[in-house]
Every structure is written in structure tokens, then in C-alpha cells.
Chain A
Amino acid sequence: MSTPTPVRTLERDRQLVLGAMVRTLGAFPSGWRYPGAHKNPGNDPAALKRLARTAEKAGFDFLFLGDWLSSSSDLEYTEPSLLARIDPFSSAAYLAAVTNRIGLIATASTAHSEPYAIARAAASIDRLSGGRFGLNLTVGTDPRANANFGRTDAAGSDDNRFETGVEFVRLLRSLWDSWDDDAVVADAKRGVLVDHSLIDPVDHEGRRFSVAGPLNALRPVQGQIPVAHAGVSVRAREFAAAHADIHIVAPSSLGDAVKFYREAGLRATAAGRAPGDVTIITPILPIVGETRQAAFEIYDELVALVPLDDGSARAQSLGLPANRSAAAFLRSVGLPLLERGLDETVSLATAERFNAAGQRLLEVVESRSGRTVGGERPVTYRHLVVAQTVAAPLVVGSAVDIADHLETWFRASATDGFAIQSAFLHEQFELFAHLVVPELIRRGLVHEGYDAKTLRGHLHLTKPVREAPIAPTLGPHWVI
């Protein structure tokens, strides 16, 4: 390409899209242990309701409900929110009844779910919520989820999984367009409820699915329900560029993010879409305090609550993941195996002997906690082990610190918006809503309240014109 045209420009006065990633037990592995934190998944409905109302009051554009179709007790120390959670679609429908404006995104698996059932459930929640539903599609398979669905065939190559995903999402699009917006005429005099000429079958016979259609639900309020996808493999990027309205990616640095964002625009163009058709969303886990110091203290407390293997008999009995061990940590940063207490301070002399990986961890610890080797707030081995094992996109600080981070990324064209994770509920999310959101409003990065009623509206997307499904199966429509 000779003259690279700026695919996305800074001139747009669009504001950033703000979502919340819902993990009721907290996005930090020890979050549920924090004093006052929500800890019982049996009370998730009440927690969800409170979270949704807080988010809506703060003007969040969407809530994102992830999913994973299996569970196991070994998730206890890594992702307690994945170990115990309720069904995301039902949660979205439940929240639709108790909110008015916020978008609600729930997750479905293209490997295990039925496109007809998902198209219908999504159209239904979109209807019940007045056009606020979004659908996150995962295309992956894992052996545990396969075993829950009696599948041995689902584990395929990356291409196979994405082929299924593409067929799935195209079917969704066709089913959502199987009814025209004006198909219901409800003419009592003639006794005619619908106009047959405005409802078309799908008649799809594909490699994975055969679906007759039409859908037994009206065309969604949004016409086409926004589809989200999270994934960074080459195939995932292509899938998102061609089929998604929201692409969730977590680049590890600002530089990577800017590069990714630029390329995402090019990929969308190559797929025949406008760059702005795909909203790029970056997950972030802020630890918010009234002051930076307060935020550091919250982080310190969370670190102290992460169970680590200090070599004691009790720690051995917990069955902790391998990377939770002090001994393993020391090996990984290039230190001889010495007896070190986890709460011992790292001395300057020791830090100098760290290898490159160890040096990077020292930087992570400093950015998360303000701790420096030899400083007033020293670095402990515990902090280093946690920095190594908890790889979340953490930003720790005051409302101004966090707003600075978001603004920097947004103005650098690294992303269109953020999905906020919370280390624990409800205090952390409420601090974000009450402290950070007003700061973002002050800076003009988000506006107060809502100016749109649908999720598409929140994403600055218009309602697409219906494209009646093209029936037979041989046309280019279905070529994958």
C-alpha cells in the first residue's frame, strides 16, 4: 500500500464507549475475600440488580456477561467467578426488567448452542428490553465443555471452529431478517395478523447446520442485534472484522493497541465494511481509591489475600496452582533457591541479580502499588509472586489517575472504549461510578445520561435495512 490513508481519525468528536464486565465474585482472584465484598453466588441476582442500577445511573453503555460452559473446583484460586455463576442469557433478561437504558450483552457458544434457539432468545431479550441486547459469540471449544455436551466431534482445528462460527453468525443475521419490521398488520376487520409477503424462510442447508426458518420472533427492535467477539488470533481478527459489531481485545501495551486499532480498521475495510462499524473495546481492571494512596492500600490488601504457597504444610494442602509458589517464583527470576519469607523485603542487592523477567515484574509491582526496591514502600516477594500470577489489565490509582489512563488510550486511537472490570463488588464498581465517571464527564470523554435508547444507538450504529434471506443454498451467500 503506497499512501496509507488514516483509517480512523481523531477529528471525530465521538465519545468513548463505556461498558462493565460483570464478574459478581470479582475480577481479582482474591476479590471476594475483601472485607464487605460480595462472596455468595447464591445471592447473585441481588448483586446483579444493584450493579446494573449503579451502572445505568452512571450512564454506562452496556453490561457484558461472559460465560464458560463448564466448571471445576480448581478454578477456585484463579477465576472463582467462572467456578460458580448463573446463565448469562437469563441474567440479561432479568436485568432488562429492572433497567431502562443500559445495553445488555450475553455470551453464547457457536460450538454448543443452536443458531435458531440463540437467534430467538436474542431477539426475545432485545424485544423485552426495547432494543438493548447484544450477543457475544465464543467460537472456542474446550474438552470440559465438550464433555458436558457429549461431544467428541466439536474439538476441531481453529479453521473448523471459525467455519462453524461464520455459518452460525450468518444464520443469525438471516433469521433476524426473516421478518420485516412491518410484517405484523393486525387487521381485526379482515382477521389478518401478518403480511405473508413480509416473512421469508431461511431454508439453510449448510455444513454444520440446517435451519428452515423463519424465526418465530419478530424482527429485533434493533433490526440486527450487535454481535461481540473477543479473541486475537488471526482467525478471530478476521471473524470480528467481517461479522462483529464489537471486538474486545486486550493489548499488552499502548503501542500494541494503537497498531492493532489501525489494523482492525484496515481489516474491516477489506471485509467491505466501514472502520467505524466495528467498535474496539479494551478490558481494564481499575483499582479505584479516593486518593492514589488509598488505591495502593486496597491493592496491597488484595495481594495479601491471594493464597500463596510459602512451602508450609498448610499451603501444600490447598492444592494451589503451580505458579503460586515462592520457590517457583525465585527460580523464574533467576535466583538460587534460598529460603525467603513471602513478606520479606527485596533488597537492592537481590534486585540487581534479577533476570529480565524479574526486572519487568518489579516495574509491574511499582505501577500497581507504588512500591520500589529500597523505597519507603518496599517491594515484597509476595507482591512479586502476585504480579506474576495475576495478569489482569490493572490500573491502580485515584479517579484522575484512571481517567488519565483511559484518556491517553482513547486519544491515541488505541481503542473506542473500555469494559470495566471490578476487583470486587460492590465497593470497587461504585467507586468507579461515583468518582471516575464524573471525571470522564468533566473531560468530555463521556456524556451524562443517555442520548440513545438502544445498544446500537449507544455504539453510534444505525438500524440496518432488512435484507430478506436469500433462499437456496448454492448462492455466494453461504460460501464460507
Chain B
Amino acid sequence: MSTSSSSKPTKQIHLAAHFPGVNNTTVWSDERSRSQIAFSSFRHFAQNAERGKFDFLFLAEGLRLRETRGLIHDLDVVGRPNTLAILAALAGVTSNIGLVGTLSSTFNEPYELARQLATLDHLSRGRAGWNIVTTSDAFHGANFRRGKFLELADRYTRAQEFFDVSTELWGSWADDALVADKRSGEFVRASGLGLVDHHGPQFDVTGYATLPPSPQRHPVIVQAGDSPDGRGFATNSADVIFSRHADFEAGRAFYDDVKGRLDAVGRPRDSLKILPAATFILGDTHDEAQERSREISRLQVSPQTALSFLEQVWNTDLSGYDVEGPLPSIDPVVTTEGGAKGRAYVHTDPVATAKAWREQAEASGWSIRELVISFAAKHTFVGTPGFVAETINRHVQEDASDGFVIVGNTNPTGLDEFVDRVIPELQERGVYRTDYDEGATLHETLGLPGVAPRSAGSLVSA
């Protein structure tokens, strides 16, 4: 990569607000936490993020209650309303912030989901986004009539075809198809309604879309998978990558890889924003922030949570172990039916994972709980608001990212102090908007080029 950073224009930072709650990042037991489920919490979260001029808010998704060894995994939030319902409701109480939901291409039908996403875009006046995810395991499939058929290798085949059919549906009404001329009585120009006639290995869809083009015509596409297939899909079809590479060096490598892929397919580099997930802990001084970070990480990894992480690898009851002591010396129980169900994160080789963890804990002098904290509750940005703002800016200006997906540790108020204290620091540096552009769509807020609809055919990966 050739760098000429001296002449580079200053990049504007893009931020997303992640409503957490399906993992241990959210401390539901914290006294500042309010309901993870009531609409008032989502409204507070969204309106606070909008006050902070975030590009969009982001909701994750779980299609089944998680289980550990046959029991519902109950250490984290459960029972939240579904993504589309929350986002549609939030469209009614926000005006500018993007609304991005995680929705599976495996257990939905494109005709239905494409319509729901276009509806969200209508309801929000052009602020809808779709984090397209794949699901392939029988555990989730057991709740759906499609069942257990999808092979791992077919995940992205289906996702790509799902996306292509959706794009055809979103593109099927011509801009001038709706006439609604009261005088002549002509409501639609019949030739302006394109017939979608798709026949592929995954889907057969023949018909007309039920709604006129939405303000963005198609939602902003977010992609979060890290595999080569996932990166390939993002290169072809996504507008935003939600990455896990918040670390500076790993972030630069990922950024370089993905932007290079864009060059290869002839897409402009600014047409795909890379936003790693990041947590933050603020303090008036560096030391205070570090101290808070330690406290919060212990709340995020309660003794029960620490053991649960180990049990997901060991696949056996470890309740006799002291989490402040060393890791179990016994080997994990290996079965074909894994212990933990309903998470994206799966341990493919438990024995090797256990060995690596044991070695790392011994080398660092860590207890069970400290080990779990090191990977499950490590905070990305810890320091004063000025330090955090400066760090974020450095990542962006030096091409480790285009911004971040910020996650708080309590709901729904965890991002309030970020908005109060870090956002003004970014704005003072001139690298972050002080207001939204009037009536901007999410596409426009993200600064994405080429808002004209893309043709579906060009997106099919070779």
C-alpha cells in the first residue's frame, strides 16, 4: 500500500451505536441498568444516539434462546423484542439516525423480508439498514419449517441469492411508475411495474413488489462476517463492514485487505465503510478510567459468567471450581453435539482451546476470571474523553478504520456519557458532524457515493 498521509484530506469519522444485550458486555445487574426489553429503553438509547449525531444505531439478533448444556443460557439478557419491530417503532420517535437491524438470510423469505426492509425505509424516510447474516446450524433450524437443510458451505450462496432477489424487488418499480394523477384517474403506469421473475437454486420468486420505491430504494447493507466468503460478499454487496478488528495493527491489516478487494472489483474505496466494534471506559484521569475499567470488567464477567465461558469449552459442570483460582486441569468433554448453542462463536477444537487458555493463564498468572476478562471484557478505549477522542481519530486518519460501532456496558444509558463527553471532543477536532444534513438518508449520512440503484446482476459473485 502506498501511503501519502501528508497530502491526505482529513477523514470524517462515522459512528454507530450498538444496543447490546445478547452477550456479557451489558451488565444487566448494574444498578444503572434499566429494562432491556421495554420500549422506553430503546427510545432512550435511540434518542441519545441521535443527540450524539451517530450515523446509525445497530441491533443484533438471536433467533433462539441460547442454551448451555441443555439449559437456557440465562446469564445475559433474554427475551428482547424482535429487531424489525423495534426499528419500526423507533422510526416513529427519531428523525435522522439510521436504523440498522441484523436479519438472517437463512430463515426468512426474500419477498417478505425485502418488503419489510423497504417498509422500514419508508417509515424512517430513508434511514433503513440491513446487517445481513447467515445461519446454518440445526439448533436454530429446529424452530423453522425450512428445518436443518442448510450446509455451512451454502450459507453465502443463499445470502448472495437472497440479496440479489431483494435487490431485484427493490428495483422493480420504475421511479415514475406511480402516477396518482387525480385528473386522469391513472394511478400507476402498468409498464413501470417490473415483473420480478427469479429462478435460482435457493429461491423462485415471480411477481410484483407491493410498494413503491422507498427513499433509499434499497437499505444500507452491513456485513459482519470475517471469513473469506464474508469478505467476498462484503466486497460485492455491502456498504458497511461491522468488523471485530478494533486493535490498531489488526485494523490496518483488515482495512488494507478489504479496500484492496474493492480496487480489484472497481468499487471506490469510500463506498464501503469499515467500522470495528469498540467499547470505552471514561475517567477524569487516566488512572480513574483504568480503575473503572477493572471494576466494570469484573461486573461483566461475574463468577457465573466466567464459569459459563469455560463450560462452553469444557462441556461439563465446572460449578465446583473457584473462579479466582487456576483453570481446570481436566480435559474438555468432547461430543458431536456441542455444549453451547445459539452463539455465532463456536469452539471447533475444545481440547486445543483449553490447552491454549491454560498456558496463557499460567504465563500471565491469571485466575479463571482474569482469563475470561482478558478476552470477553477487554475495553477498547480507556482514558479521558480527550484521549479516547484522539485515539478514535488516529485509527480513522491512519486507515485502521472509518469509524467505530460503539458499545456501552449498561442499557439504555451506557452511551449517554460518550455523547456528553467524547462527541464534543471529536466535533472540536473537526472530524465529526455537528449536525445531520437536513433530510439526509442513511446513505448520505454515511457519505456513500453512488446512491443510484445498483443492478442485481452485477453483484453476483463469480
Contact = CB atoms under 8 A, between A and B. Distances in A.
Contact of B206 (A30, A34, A148): A148
A272 to B, nearest CB: 29
Contacts of A196: 71-72, 74
A388 to B, nearest CB: 19
B82 interface: yes
Interface stretch (B207-215, B226-234, B275-283, B368-376): B207-215
A72 B95 CA distance: 32
Contact of B211 (A70, A85, A97, A114): A85
Interface string A170-203: 0000000001000010101001111010010000
A84 B190 contact: no
B208 A71 contact: yes
Interface in A191-236: 191-194, 196, 199, 208-214, 216-218
Contacts, number: 225
A336 interface: no
Nearest to B215: A42
A90 B178 contact: no
A158 interface: no
A124 interface: yes
B92 A89 contact: no
B450 to A, nearest CB: 22
Interface residues of B, number: 74
Contact of A114 (B42, B77, B144): B144
A76 B209 CA distance: 14
Contacts of B80: 216-217
A32 B81 CA distance: 36
A444 interface: no
Contact of A94 (B71, B88, B112, B208): B88
A86 B211 contact: yes
Contact of B205 (A83, A150, A208): A150
Contacts of A117: 82, 107-108, 144
A96 B89 contact: yes
Interface in B163-206: 178, 180, 182, 185, 187-188, 190, 193, 203-206
A182 B188 CA distance: 52
B112 A113 contact: yes
B86 A128 contact: yes
B456 interface: no
B122 interface: yes
A89 B208 contact: no
Contact of B122 (A45, A120, A319): A45
A116 B144 contact: yes
A96 B16 CA distance: 25
B85 A305 contact: no
Contact of A73 (B62, B86, B188, B305): B188
A211 B109 CA distance: 17
B305 A128 contact: no
Interface residues of A, number: 81
A354 B212 CA distance: 44
Nearest to A191: B304
Interface string B78-96: 1111101111111111000
A36 to B, nearest CB: 10
A117 B116 CA distance: 13
A129 B62 CA distance: 21
B193 to A, nearest CB: 5
Nearest to B90: A97
A39 B92 CA distance: 21
B78 A212 contact: no
A84 B111 contact: no
Contacts of B65: 199, 214, 216
B380 interface: no
23 contacts: A32-B182, A42-B122, A69-B210, A72-B193, A83-B187, A90-B84, A90-B88, A91-B88, A93-B89, A96-B89, A97-B92, A116-B144, A117-B107, A121-B84, A124-B82, A127-B37, A144-B207, A150-B205, A212-B142, A216-B63, A216-B64, A216-B65, A218-B79
Interface of B: 28-29, 37-39, 42-43, 62-65, 71-72, 74-82, 84-93, 107-109, 111-112, 115-116, 118-120, 122-123, 125, 142-145, 147, 178, 180, 182, 185, 187-188, 190, 193, 203-214, 302-305
Given A87-B118, A94-B91, A319-B190, 13 more contacts: A33-B185, A70-B208, A90-B119, A93-B85, A96-B89, A97-B92, A114-B107, A149-B111, A193-B74, A193-B77, A208-B145, A216-B65, A216-B79
Closest 3 CB pairs of A and B: A188-B29, A124-B81, A150-B204
Interface of A: 30, 32-35, 37, 39-42, 44-45, 49, 68-74, 76, 80, 83-87, 89-98, 112-114, 116-117, 120-121, 123-125, 127-130, 144-145, 147-150, 179, 184, 186, 188, 191-194, 196, 199, 208-214, 216-218, 305, 307, 318-319
